[in-house]
Structure 1
């Protein structure tokens, strides 16, 4: 989702509503309040391709990673990202290793 899409979906939201975040396939009891948003200035890698015969997609900062021979059709694109989550302490620039 792009930032403009998120802003469009939030346009009519109650400004006092809580924003809940969920892991994939969670049920309603697994939600947690959104606690952190980080607008990154650096570019991240958006890597996609095949692992065996299955599609994969990952995002990560830094230098593109070398992959083992089971990976194929790899494509790496540099993208701007916004991180959101319940707690993102390890993603703050001053804390990264």
Structure 2
């Protein structure tokens, strides 16, 4: 009986901890769709620069399962599966 009650309390504590971790704030993504053109119509390789800082065109197109992202507006952007940070929106026609 004592072991069963201890297991229930441990289980409840574990569930509460997991719920708390899931509730932590995540960094928001800022999406910028001001860049429209491409220097070359080709696909980027993994972790390749998709947009250089201060350029008005993308160097290449990221695969559909990834984002062209950078830490801020004035940084190089790389293809990444992480959807946070500064996202340069690439249109897929």
Give the TM-score of the pair, scaled to structure 1: 0.22
Higher helix share: 2
Higher strand share: 1
Give the TM-score of the pair, scaled to structure 2: 0.23
Question: Which entry has the higher C-alpha Rg, 1 or 2?
Answer: 2
